[in-house]
Structure 1
Amino acid sequence: MPESSPARPVDAGERVLLLDVLRGFALGGVFVSNAYMHLSGNGLLPRERGQALKASWWDATADFLFEQLLAGKAMALFSFLFGLGFAVQLGRAEARGASIVRVYSRRLGVLLLIGLLHRFALWYGDVLAMYAVTGFALLLFRGLPHRNLLVWGLALIFGGSLAVSAVLKLVPLWASSPDVVRDFAQENMAHSRLIRAQTLAAFQSGDYLTMARANLDFSLSFTFRPLQVSHMLVTLGRFLLGLLAGRLLLFQDVERHRPLFRRLFGWGLGAALVGSVAGWLIPRLLKSGTLPSSLNLPWRVIQPSIWELSVLGLAAVYAAGLSLLFVRPRWRRGLSLLAPAGQMALTNYLSQTVISQFVFYGYGFSLMGKLGAASCLALMSGLFAVQVPLSHLWMARFRFGPVEWLWRTLTYGQRQPMRRPSKHPTRDMAPTA
């Protein structure tokens, strides 16, 4: 058995440019989604105020397109790439003849600390802590055959959400009368509205400590709930699909797998259409009485799985479509503009929270609850367009984003070299594509 070499971060020459492009694309979608759905206050506003922000036809159209094309899809792709990244790390560890467990566990431990700090000091919607906790489960699946990874991934995505939904919707009815369930639901909704109103007021207050205290209370109030279990199961399923893609080296050699990517694009588009049309049409048919009311409960049980079908389908369309375009030289040059943003995705993700709070919170421009859907989506898309060239400027001079550097330094227990090697005696130059 060959002697194992010490663990180290991925060198620039070892990176797969397409993966950085996909990560940058997903990061842009995550930025817009988080800002529009949460940090703008949309999730905290009373229903009437939220609807008023979508009253005009252009705002209603923008909201509809966001729901169908972006909501949940960017995060699904982001999660998939996390699992794929684990496959890359696992492959490198095996090539060195080393075990991945120790370094990977330290890596997740540091990510957990960063995520908890982000969650409790800035924003209750952090996903890093959940990624870190769920990421440990990947170690249990790393030895499974390819087919088993596919089955487990799909089972967790669809079966996990279905099981949790069934427990939430059916068990209370079996344990109590419908009247008791209705009264409990109404009481729970009233309590939720009170917490959201208090949190909204704190976020608009203009005082960081007031915001941080309310954010902490809100985070603790909604963290340990069954829907969080569903989210973790679905996320683990996405990780496993990414692990499978990484094992098969799909994105390292797109040209070789072009027929598979074309089929994936077609299958994904079909699944997205079925899930989206069903998710939009069936609730309206039930509300209008076209479908019998007896189908209301079964629909509410399966609705999360239908949603996941549309999310997974469109995420597959984006991944496959961008990969097929990337093999074309002209498209490759254009898409490569996203790569630096993807290389420093952790730094950009955390900075997006700060940017969004500066735009919407009381200690910034205080725009929470004041922008219509179209204006909000356009503004956040524009801000991400600014992040991209800033990422170019940073990555032209440094090997890592600042938070990535801290993450790697703490993971490997030694200070990592930050600046890129100088190619000129008087100045650093960016590497050519």
Structure 2
Amino acid sequence: MTGGTRIESLDAIRGVAVMGILAMNIVAFALPFPAYSNPAAGGPPGDLDLATWFFNFVLVDSKMRGMFSLLFGASTLLVIDSAVSAGRRPAGAHYSRMFWLALFGLAHFYLIWFGDILFLYAVCGLLLFLFRNLSVKALLLWSLPFFLIAIGIPASLWVMLSMAQAGTLPAEAAAGMQEALRQMNADMGPSTPTYAEEIALYLGSYASILGHRTGEMAGDPLFFVGMFMWETMGLMLIGMALFKSRMLTGEWDLARYRKWAAVCFLIAAPPLVALALYQMQAGYAAISIFGASMALSIPFDVLMTVGWTALIMLLIKSVASDQARARLAAAGRMAFTNYLVTSVVMTTIFYGYGLGLFGSVGRTALYLFCFGMWAAMLLWSKPWLERFHYGPLEWLWRSLARGQLQPMRREAAGQ
């Protein structure tokens, strides 16, 4: 974010989003990757863990990342406007930020945790600048082809895999799809052979984990871009549109926020519940998880993301106390730092070079770690920003992007 006037509602909702990202990611921090989408990976789930997975699939997974993406789009406009107001070249300011963000993302992926989204955001940011001057309507229209691609590619693959599984695919295509189905079952299915291997890997040394990321997983950042950039671009464009429509600045009346939240949840929740039941009835077969998570849920995830955004803004404006808003806004102003520090803390708790809890904590109990980290974000961000202009990593990013050290202590700027 920029200096100058802050928009407290935007900072506060970003604070909620960075906390929500942890609720989405906690399983991937603490359990082998198949467990992220499949509650039966590693063994039959208990009722409480199954309920947790169900809740997460319907209300959390993709929605919190979606909200973060909306806010990235909105923040991009703020950064560009700030550069113009300060007499700096907006393109230079934006692309310098994206260059350093990409490097931060790659460092995060290779050195700390494989679930990085910063590199993806930086790549999307290269395109996002081109849309900065469009109207609300134009931004929404431009988001549609991105979403169509995001849905169309995995949906087409899901149909072909389903045909291969049913034996109805033409012979010339069947062999390739059968191999893809075999690999998908190995990666995501309930009896995946990689589960125990991942536990052994992440309970090992830092050197062995680093070697895995820089070896077998070296190309994954680009793979993730190819998979998720279309949906992410669509969400960022919607974020730009919502910012320009004053929704994210808190300028709508309460009734309008209430209506948007209700409509989005009422439309999105029933299909998402149906998709969760579809996976359960399919015995968490890899093909059902892929179809539900990667293709069929996308339009409803997007709707619920907007619904969450409207609901949180409603609560910030109508229910939250001044102190709560200030705490959330501080966590949001330090979202970059809080996001990366969360990765350091969680990997240290769960990986072998730290406390070594990887694979030993149940899905539901993992949320106790979320609560602890959320409390830390809310407790430390506000006191820090009372003494300093920026979070420590926000300051580093800003200094690198501008090519000179920025004032850090408030006294340094005469405050």
Give the TM-score taking structure 1 as reference length: 0.82
1:261 aligns with 2:257: yes
CA contact (8 A) 1:106 1:411 kept: yes
Map of 2:235 onto structure 1: 238
Deviation at 1:156, TM superposition (A): 1.8
Alpha-carbon spacing, 1:168–1:151, altered in 2? closer, same or farther (3 Å):
same
C-alpha distance in structure 2 between counterparts of 1:329 and 1:189, whole Å: 46
Map of 1:251 onto structure 2: 248
C-alpha distance in structure 2 between counterparts of 1:181 and 1:401, whole Å: 48
Alpha-carbon spacing, 1:202–1:280, altered in 2? closer, same or farther (3 Å):
closer
Unaligned runs of 5+ in 1: 1-8, 289-296, 429-433
C-alpha distance in structure 1 between counterparts of 2:63 and 2:298, whole Å: 9
C-alpha distance in structure 2 between counterparts of 1:191 and 1:58, whole Å: 24
Map of 1:28 onto structure 2: 19
Which one has the largest radius of gyration?
1
Deviation at 1:40, TM superposition (A): 0.6
Deviation at 1:358, TM superposition (A): 1.2
Deviation at 1:365, TM superposition (A): 1.2
Map of 2:328 onto structure 1: 338
Map of 1:294 onto structure 2: none
Identical positions, percent: 26
C-alpha distance in structure 2 between counterparts of 1:189 and 1:165, whole Å: 16
User: Helix, strand or coil: the match of 1:381?
Assistant: helix
CA contact (8 A) 2:250 2:317 kept: no
Map of 2:213 onto structure 1: 215
Count of residues in Structure 1 that have an aligned counterpart in Structure 2: 403
Q: Deviations over 1:203-227 (max 9, x none)?
A: 111x2111111122343254454x7
1:49-64 alignment runs, 5 A limit:
50-52=41-43, 54-55=45-46, 57-64=47-54
Map of 1:165 onto structure 2: 154
Deviation at 1:277, TM superposition (A): 2.4
CA contact (8 A) 1:274 1:310 kept: no
Alpha-carbon spacing, 1:126–1:170, altered in 2? closer, same or farther (3 Å):
same
Q: Deviations over 1:305-351 (max 9, x none)?
A: 43123322222222111212222375444233211111111111111
Q: Deviations over 1:370-407 (max 9, x none)?
A: 11112111222222212220112211211111111010
Q: Deviations over 1:104-132 (max 9, x none)?
A: 00011011111111111121211101100
Alpha-carbon spacing, 1:183–1:417, altered in 2? closer, same or farther (3 Å):
closer
C-alpha distance in structure 1 between counterparts of 2:39 and 2:71, whole Å: 37
Superposition RMSD in Å: 3.3
Match of 2:311 among 321, 334, 352: 321
CA contact (8 A) 1:359 1:365 kept: yes
C-alpha distance in structure 1 between counterparts of 2:52 and 2:410, whole Å: 42
CA contact (8 A) 1:107 1:411 kept: yes
C-alpha distance in structure 2 between counterparts of 1:243 and 1:48, whole Å: 35
Deviation at 1:14, TM superposition (A): 0.6
1:34-433 alignment runs, 5 A limit:
34-36=25-27, 38-43=28-33, 50-52=41-43, 54-55=45-46, 57-95=47-85, 99-157=89-147, 159-169=148-158, 173=169, 176-178=172-174, 181-186=177-182, 189-190=185-186, 198-205=197-204, 207-220=205-218, 222-225=220-223, 228-254=225-251, 256-283=252-279, 304-328=294-318, 331-421=321-411
Deviation at 1:42, TM superposition (A): 3.3
CA contact (8 A) 2:39 2:45 kept: no
User: Helix, strand or coil: the match of 2:387?
Assistant: coil
C-alpha distance in structure 2 between counterparts of 1:287 and 1:43, whole Å: 18
C-alpha distance in structure 1 between counterparts of 2:319 and 2:143, whole Å: 33
Which one-letter code corresponds to 2:91 in the other structure?
Answer: V
Deviation at 1:259, TM superposition (A): 4.4
CA contact (8 A) 2:151 2:296 kept: no
C-alpha distance in structure 2 between counterparts of 1:335 and 1:156, whole Å: 34
Unaligned runs of 5+ in 2: 162-168
C-alpha distance in structure 1 between counterparts of 2:356 and 2:282, whole Å: 39
C-alpha distance in structure 2 between counterparts of 1:284 and 1:187, whole Å: 21
C-alpha distance in structure 2 between counterparts of 1:155 and 1:145, whole Å: 17
C-alpha distance in structure 2 between counterparts of 1:306 and 1:49, whole Å: 21
CA contact (8 A) 2:395 2:406 kept: yes
User: Helix, strand or coil: the match of 2:218?
Assistant: helix
Deviation at 1:141, TM superposition (A): 1.6
Deviation at 1:191, TM superposition (A): 8.0
C-alpha distance in structure 1 between counterparts of 2:98 and 2:350, whole Å: 31
Which one-letter code corresponds to 1:239 in the other structure?
Answer: M
Map of 1:3 onto structure 2: none
C-alpha distance in structure 2 between counterparts of 1:163 and 1:318, whole Å: 25
C-alpha distance in structure 2 between counterparts of 1:53 and 1:171, whole Å: 28
CA contact (8 A) 1:112 1:132 kept: yes
Which one-letter code corresponds to 1:277 in the other structure?
Answer: V
Which one-letter code corresponds to 2:17 in the other structure?
Answer: A
